[in-house]
Structure 1
Amino acid sequence: MTEPLDRGGASEDGNDDQPFKTLTRQEAQALRGRIPQVSPWRVVAVQALAGLLCTAIAVVVTQLMGQGSGAAWSALYGAAAVVLPAALLARGMTRGTRNAVAAAVGFMFWEMLKIAVAIAMLVIAAKVVPNLSWPVLLVTMVVCMKVNWLALLWRRR
Protein backbone atom coordinates (compact mmCIF):
# COMPACT_ATOMS: atom_id res chain seq x y z
CA MET A 1 0.00 0.00 0.00
CA THR A 2 1.09 3.51 -0.65
CA GLU A 3 1.13 6.10 2.07
CA PRO A 4 -1.08 9.16 1.67
CA LEU A 5 0.71 12.37 0.85
CA ASP A 6 1.28 14.74 3.72
CA ARG A 7 -0.64 17.91 2.97
CA GLY A 8 0.75 19.93 5.80
CA GLY A 9 -2.19 19.34 8.16
CA ALA A 10 -4.90 19.93 5.56
CA SER A 11 -7.88 17.62 5.54
CA GLU A 12 -9.26 15.92 2.43
CA ASP A 13 -11.58 18.81 1.62
CA GLY A 14 -8.67 21.26 1.69
CA ASN A 15 -9.52 22.89 5.04
CA ASP A 16 -6.88 23.23 7.71
CA ASP A 17 -7.34 21.15 10.84
CA GLN A 18 -6.55 24.07 13.10
CA PRO A 19 -8.91 24.67 16.02
CA PHE A 20 -11.62 27.32 15.80
CA LYS A 21 -10.68 30.54 17.55
CA THR A 22 -13.37 32.74 19.07
CA LEU A 23 -12.67 36.41 18.49
CA THR A 24 -12.79 38.98 21.23
CA ARG A 25 -15.01 42.01 20.78
CA GLN A 26 -12.05 44.18 19.77
CA GLU A 27 -10.77 41.57 17.26
CA ALA A 28 -14.24 41.26 15.72
CA GLN A 29 -14.55 45.05 15.38
CA ALA A 30 -11.08 45.24 13.79
CA LEU A 31 -12.04 42.48 11.34
CA ARG A 32 -15.26 44.30 10.42
CA GLY A 33 -13.25 47.45 9.85
CA ARG A 34 -10.97 45.67 7.37
CA ILE A 35 -13.83 44.10 5.39
CA PRO A 36 -15.75 46.78 3.49
CA GLN A 37 -19.52 46.55 3.81
CA VAL A 38 -22.02 47.57 1.16
CA SER A 39 -25.29 49.02 2.37
CA PRO A 40 -28.35 47.27 0.91
CA TRP A 41 -29.89 50.72 0.56
CA ARG A 42 -27.06 51.72 -1.73
CA VAL A 43 -27.76 48.71 -3.93
CA VAL A 44 -31.48 49.58 -4.01
CA ALA A 45 -30.63 53.16 -4.98
CA VAL A 46 -28.39 52.01 -7.83
CA GLN A 47 -31.14 49.63 -8.98
CA ALA A 48 -33.52 52.58 -9.07
CA LEU A 49 -31.01 54.64 -11.06
CA ALA A 50 -30.56 51.78 -13.54
CA GLY A 51 -34.36 51.57 -13.89
CA LEU A 52 -34.61 55.31 -14.52
CA LEU A 53 -31.84 55.05 -17.12
CA CYS A 54 -33.71 52.23 -18.89
CA THR A 55 -36.89 54.33 -18.77
CA ALA A 56 -35.08 57.31 -20.26
CA ILE A 57 -33.73 55.11 -23.06
CA ALA A 58 -37.24 53.77 -23.70
CA VAL A 59 -38.59 57.34 -23.88
CA VAL A 60 -35.92 58.40 -26.38
CA VAL A 61 -36.39 55.31 -28.56
CA THR A 62 -40.18 55.61 -28.61
CA GLN A 63 -39.96 59.34 -29.43
CA LEU A 64 -37.60 58.63 -32.31
CA MET A 65 -39.90 55.91 -33.64
CA GLY A 66 -43.00 58.08 -33.16
CA GLN A 67 -44.74 55.57 -30.91
CA GLY A 68 -46.73 56.05 -27.73
CA SER A 69 -45.40 55.99 -24.20
CA GLY A 70 -46.27 52.33 -23.51
CA ALA A 71 -42.61 51.29 -23.59
CA ALA A 72 -41.62 54.02 -21.14
CA TRP A 73 -44.35 53.04 -18.67
CA SER A 74 -43.39 49.38 -19.12
CA ALA A 75 -39.76 50.15 -18.31
CA LEU A 76 -40.73 52.21 -15.28
CA TYR A 77 -43.01 49.46 -14.01
CA GLY A 78 -40.30 46.84 -14.63
CA ALA A 79 -37.91 48.88 -12.51
CA ALA A 80 -40.53 49.23 -9.79
CA ALA A 81 -41.12 45.46 -9.83
CA VAL A 82 -37.47 45.01 -8.81
CA VAL A 83 -36.80 48.08 -6.66
CA LEU A 84 -39.89 47.99 -4.41
CA PRO A 85 -39.46 44.33 -3.37
CA ALA A 86 -35.71 44.92 -2.89
CA ALA A 87 -36.50 47.90 -0.66
CA LEU A 88 -38.78 45.66 1.42
CA LEU A 89 -35.96 43.15 1.84
CA ALA A 90 -33.46 45.89 2.70
CA ARG A 91 -35.85 47.30 5.29
CA GLY A 92 -36.34 43.92 6.88
CA MET A 93 -32.65 43.06 6.90
CA THR A 94 -31.41 46.35 8.35
CA ARG A 95 -33.61 46.16 11.44
CA GLY A 96 -30.76 44.46 13.31
CA THR A 97 -31.00 41.44 15.56
CA ARG A 98 -28.40 39.85 17.78
CA ASN A 99 -29.77 36.32 17.55
CA ALA A 100 -28.36 34.35 14.60
CA VAL A 101 -31.42 32.09 14.34
CA ALA A 102 -33.80 35.04 14.32
CA ALA A 103 -31.66 36.71 11.64
CA ALA A 104 -31.79 33.60 9.44
CA VAL A 105 -35.56 33.21 9.87
CA GLY A 106 -36.02 36.93 9.28
CA PHE A 107 -33.99 36.75 6.08
CA MET A 108 -36.12 33.87 4.79
CA PHE A 109 -39.32 35.73 5.65
CA TRP A 110 -38.26 38.96 3.96
CA GLU A 111 -36.92 37.12 0.91
CA MET A 112 -40.22 35.23 0.50
CA LEU A 113 -42.12 38.48 0.89
CA LYS A 114 -39.88 40.09 -1.74
CA ILE A 115 -40.57 37.27 -4.20
CA ALA A 116 -44.32 37.36 -3.50
CA VAL A 117 -44.51 41.12 -4.06
CA ALA A 118 -42.52 40.86 -7.31
CA ILE A 119 -44.79 38.07 -8.60
CA ALA A 120 -47.91 40.00 -7.61
CA MET A 121 -46.63 43.06 -9.44
CA LEU A 122 -46.00 41.00 -12.57
CA VAL A 123 -49.46 39.40 -12.38
CA ILE A 124 -51.22 42.78 -12.27
CA ALA A 125 -48.87 44.46 -14.77
CA ALA A 126 -51.21 44.04 -17.75
CA LYS A 127 -54.04 45.76 -15.87
CA VAL A 128 -51.93 48.57 -14.43
CA VAL A 129 -49.69 49.58 -17.34
CA PRO A 130 -51.37 50.99 -20.47
CA ASN A 131 -50.01 49.53 -23.73
CA LEU A 132 -47.74 47.15 -21.82
CA SER A 133 -44.60 46.00 -23.62
CA TRP A 134 -43.45 42.77 -21.98
CA PRO A 135 -40.02 42.75 -23.66
CA VAL A 136 -39.23 46.26 -22.38
CA LEU A 137 -40.53 45.42 -18.90
CA LEU A 138 -38.48 42.22 -18.69
CA VAL A 139 -35.29 43.77 -20.06
CA THR A 140 -35.55 46.57 -17.51
CA MET A 141 -36.10 44.03 -14.74
CA VAL A 142 -33.02 42.06 -15.79
CA VAL A 143 -30.88 45.22 -15.93
CA CYS A 144 -32.06 46.27 -12.45
CA MET A 145 -31.43 42.80 -11.01
CA LYS A 146 -27.94 42.58 -12.46
CA VAL A 147 -26.93 45.78 -10.67
CA ASN A 148 -26.58 43.61 -7.56
CA TRP A 149 -23.35 42.26 -9.03
CA LEU A 150 -21.83 45.74 -8.85
CA ALA A 151 -21.92 45.38 -5.06
CA LEU A 152 -19.10 42.86 -5.38
CA LEU A 153 -17.01 45.45 -7.23
CA TRP A 154 -17.74 48.04 -4.52
CA ARG A 155 -16.51 45.64 -1.85
CA ARG A 156 -13.14 45.20 -3.53
CA ARG A 157 -12.32 48.93 -3.35
Structure 2
Amino acid sequence: MNTIAPVPEDEAEESDFKPLTAEEAQQLRARIAPVSLVRVLVVQALVGCLVAMAAWGLTGRPAAGWTAAYGAMAVVIPAALFARGVRKHMSSGNPGTAVTGLFGWELVKIVLTVALLAAAPWVLPEVVWLALLAGMVVTLKMYWLALWVQTRSVKPT
Protein backbone atom coordinates (compact mmCIF):
# COMPACT_ATOMS: atom_id res chain seq x y z
CA MET A 1 0.00 0.00 0.00
CA ASN A 2 1.43 3.33 -1.05
CA THR A 3 0.74 6.48 0.88
CA ILE A 4 1.16 9.95 -0.48
CA ALA A 5 3.07 12.30 1.74
CA PRO A 6 1.69 15.83 2.03
CA VAL A 7 3.49 18.47 -0.02
CA PRO A 8 5.22 21.09 2.11
CA GLU A 9 3.83 24.59 1.70
CA ASP A 10 7.03 25.99 0.23
CA GLU A 11 6.88 23.39 -2.59
CA ALA A 12 3.24 24.01 -3.39
CA GLU A 13 2.56 25.69 -6.73
CA GLU A 14 2.06 29.42 -6.72
CA SER A 15 -1.45 30.41 -7.68
CA ASP A 16 -1.98 32.84 -10.56
CA PHE A 17 -5.01 34.24 -8.75
CA LYS A 18 -4.60 37.82 -7.61
CA PRO A 19 -7.52 39.47 -5.81
CA LEU A 20 -8.55 42.90 -7.02
CA THR A 21 -7.98 45.93 -4.91
CA ALA A 22 -10.97 48.08 -4.04
CA GLU A 23 -9.92 50.61 -6.68
CA GLU A 24 -9.53 47.93 -9.39
CA ALA A 25 -12.94 46.46 -8.52
CA GLN A 26 -14.53 49.92 -8.77
CA GLN A 27 -12.93 50.48 -12.18
CA LEU A 28 -14.20 47.09 -13.38
CA ARG A 29 -17.73 47.88 -12.21
CA ALA A 30 -17.60 51.20 -14.07
CA ARG A 31 -16.59 49.45 -17.32
CA ILE A 32 -19.36 46.81 -17.25
CA ALA A 33 -22.88 47.92 -18.06
CA PRO A 34 -25.52 46.11 -15.98
CA VAL A 35 -28.02 43.87 -17.76
CA SER A 36 -31.64 44.81 -17.17
CA LEU A 37 -33.65 41.79 -16.05
CA VAL A 38 -36.83 43.33 -17.40
CA ARG A 39 -35.21 43.85 -20.79
CA VAL A 40 -34.06 40.21 -20.94
CA LEU A 41 -37.57 39.00 -20.04
CA VAL A 42 -39.19 41.26 -22.64
CA VAL A 43 -36.75 40.08 -25.31
CA GLN A 44 -37.45 36.47 -24.32
CA ALA A 45 -41.20 37.04 -24.68
CA LEU A 46 -40.78 38.77 -28.05
CA VAL A 47 -38.54 36.01 -29.36
CA GLY A 48 -41.05 33.45 -28.12
CA CYS A 49 -43.75 35.23 -30.15
CA LEU A 50 -41.48 35.22 -33.22
CA VAL A 51 -40.84 31.49 -32.84
CA ALA A 52 -44.57 30.87 -32.48
CA MET A 53 -45.31 32.85 -35.66
CA ALA A 54 -42.50 31.03 -37.48
CA ALA A 55 -43.81 27.63 -36.36
CA TRP A 56 -47.31 28.55 -37.50
CA GLY A 57 -46.03 29.93 -40.81
CA LEU A 58 -43.68 27.05 -41.59
CA THR A 59 -46.14 24.28 -40.75
CA GLY A 60 -49.36 26.02 -41.70
CA ARG A 61 -50.87 24.64 -38.49
CA PRO A 62 -52.14 26.99 -35.80
CA ALA A 63 -51.52 24.25 -33.21
CA ALA A 64 -47.76 24.46 -33.89
CA GLY A 65 -47.79 28.20 -33.26
CA TRP A 66 -49.77 27.91 -30.03
CA THR A 67 -47.55 25.06 -28.84
CA ALA A 68 -44.37 27.06 -29.53
CA ALA A 69 -45.87 30.03 -27.67
CA TYR A 70 -46.70 27.75 -24.74
CA GLY A 71 -43.08 26.49 -24.73
CA ALA A 72 -41.83 30.07 -24.60
CA MET A 73 -44.31 30.88 -21.84
CA ALA A 74 -43.02 27.89 -19.85
CA VAL A 75 -39.65 29.68 -19.79
CA VAL A 76 -40.66 33.34 -19.42
CA ILE A 77 -43.17 33.06 -16.56
CA PRO A 78 -40.88 31.08 -14.20
CA ALA A 79 -37.95 33.35 -15.13
CA ALA A 80 -39.98 36.45 -14.27
CA LEU A 81 -41.01 34.95 -10.95
CA PHE A 82 -37.38 34.00 -10.25
CA ALA A 83 -36.13 37.51 -11.09
CA ARG A 84 -38.71 39.13 -8.83
CA GLY A 85 -37.94 36.82 -5.92
CA VAL A 86 -34.16 37.05 -6.24
CA ARG A 87 -34.25 40.85 -6.54
CA LYS A 88 -36.14 41.03 -3.24
CA HIS A 89 -33.59 38.79 -1.48
CA MET A 90 -30.59 40.59 -2.99
CA SER A 91 -31.79 43.92 -1.64
CA SER A 92 -31.81 42.54 1.92
CA GLY A 93 -28.07 43.21 2.25
CA ASN A 94 -27.46 39.88 4.01
CA PRO A 95 -25.28 37.55 1.88
CA GLY A 96 -26.69 34.42 3.55
CA THR A 97 -30.25 35.47 2.82
CA ALA A 98 -29.31 36.33 -0.76
CA VAL A 99 -27.75 32.91 -1.44
CA THR A 100 -30.63 31.08 0.23
CA GLY A 101 -33.11 33.11 -1.81
CA LEU A 102 -31.18 32.40 -5.00
CA PHE A 103 -31.30 28.63 -4.48
CA GLY A 104 -34.89 28.68 -3.25
CA TRP A 105 -36.17 30.69 -6.20
CA GLU A 106 -34.16 28.59 -8.64
CA LEU A 107 -35.92 25.52 -7.24
CA VAL A 108 -39.30 27.26 -7.64
CA LYS A 109 -38.38 28.16 -11.23
CA ILE A 110 -37.43 24.59 -12.11
CA VAL A 111 -40.52 23.06 -10.48
CA LEU A 112 -42.83 25.56 -12.17
CA THR A 113 -41.22 24.98 -15.57
CA VAL A 114 -41.55 21.21 -15.24
CA ALA A 115 -45.16 21.58 -14.07
CA LEU A 116 -46.03 23.80 -17.04
CA LEU A 117 -44.44 21.33 -19.45
CA ALA A 118 -46.20 18.38 -17.80
CA ALA A 119 -49.52 20.22 -18.07
CA ALA A 120 -49.11 20.91 -21.81
CA PRO A 121 -51.18 17.89 -22.97
CA TRP A 122 -54.08 18.99 -20.75
CA VAL A 123 -53.85 22.72 -21.51
CA LEU A 124 -53.37 22.58 -25.28
CA PRO A 125 -55.91 20.86 -27.52
CA GLU A 126 -53.11 19.50 -29.75
CA VAL A 127 -49.43 19.40 -28.76
CA VAL A 128 -46.72 19.63 -31.42
CA TRP A 129 -43.75 18.49 -29.37
CA LEU A 130 -41.08 19.77 -31.76
CA ALA A 131 -42.67 23.24 -31.70
CA LEU A 132 -42.84 23.12 -27.88
CA LEU A 133 -39.15 22.24 -27.72
CA ALA A 134 -38.25 24.94 -30.26
CA GLY A 135 -40.16 27.59 -28.33
CA MET A 136 -38.44 26.59 -25.10
CA VAL A 137 -34.89 26.28 -26.43
CA VAL A 138 -34.86 29.48 -28.47
CA THR A 139 -36.37 31.43 -25.58
CA LEU A 140 -33.83 29.98 -23.16
CA LYS A 141 -30.96 30.99 -25.42
CA MET A 142 -31.85 34.65 -24.95
CA TYR A 143 -29.87 34.54 -21.67
CA TRP A 144 -26.76 33.79 -23.71
CA LEU A 145 -27.56 36.59 -26.13
CA ALA A 146 -27.91 39.01 -23.20
CA LEU A 147 -24.53 37.91 -21.83
CA TRP A 148 -22.95 38.27 -25.25
CA VAL A 149 -24.40 41.76 -25.68
CA GLN A 150 -23.14 42.68 -22.21
CA THR A 151 -19.60 41.57 -23.02
CA ARG A 152 -19.74 43.59 -26.23
CA SER A 153 -20.73 46.68 -24.26
CA VAL A 154 -17.72 46.53 -21.89
CA LYS A 155 -15.69 49.67 -22.36
CA PRO A 156 -12.03 48.98 -23.18
CA THR A 157 -9.40 50.08 -20.70
TM tier, shorter chain? 0.7 to 0.9
Encode CA deviations 1:107-154: one digit per residue, 9 max, x unaligned. Answer: 001100000000000111000011111111011100000111012222
Structure 2 partner of 1:52 = 49
Alpha-carbon deviations, 1:58-83, whole Å to 9, x = none? 221233xxx4x211110110010000
Shift of 1:23: 3.4
- Contact 2:44 2:140 survives alignment (8 Å): yes
Instruction: Give the match for residue 15 of structure 1.
Output: 17
Cα distance in 2 between the residues matched to 1:92 and 1:151:
20
* CA deviation profile, 1:70-99 (whole Å, cap 9, x unmatched): 111101100100000010111112222211
Q: Which structure 1 segments of 5+ residues have no match? A: 1-10
Correspondence 1:103 to 2:86 = no
| Contact in 1 for aligned 2:56/2:63 (Cα 8 Å) | no
- CA–CA separation in structure 2 for the residues paired with 1:129 and 1:152: 33
Deviates more, 1:133-142 or 1:94-103: 94-103
The share of aligned pairs that are identical, in percent, is 43
Q: How far apart, CA to CA, are the structure 2 residues paired with 1:47 and 1:149?
A: 11
Corresponding residue of 1:90: 83
2:76 pairs with 1:79: no
CA distance in 1 between partners of 2:63 and 2:54 (Å): 13
How far the C-alpha of 1:13 sits from its partner, in A, is: 3.4
Aligned partner of 1:141 among 136, 145, 157: 136
Distance in 2, Cα, partners of 1:89 & 1:146: 17
Cα-Cα RMSD: 2.2
C-alpha separation in 1, matches of 2:25 and 2:14: 29
Kindly indicate whether residue 153 of structure 2 is the aligned counterpart of residue 154 of structure 1: no
Within 1, Cα distance between the matches of 2:20 and 2:111? 40
Supply the distance in 2 between the matched residues of 1:143 and 1:38 (Cα, whole angstroms): 19
- TM-superposed deviation, 1:30: 5.6
1:39 CA drift (Å):
1.5
Q: Distance in 2 between matches of 1:100 and 1:30?
A: 23
Distance 2:115 2:140 in 1: 17
How far off its partner does 1:32 sit?
Answer: 3.0
What is the total number of aligned residue pairs between the two structures?
139
Cα gap change, 1:15 to 1:22, in 2 (>3 Å): closer
With normalisation by structure 2, the TM-score equals 0.79
Match of 2:58 in 1: 61
Task: Provide TM-score, normalisation by structure 1.
Answer: 0.79
Tell me, yes or no, if the aligned pair for 1:73 and 1:130 is still in contact at 8 Å. Answer: no
Is contact 2:67–2:124 with CA below 8 Å preserved after alignment?
yes
Question: How far off its partner does 1:31 sit?
Answer: 4.7
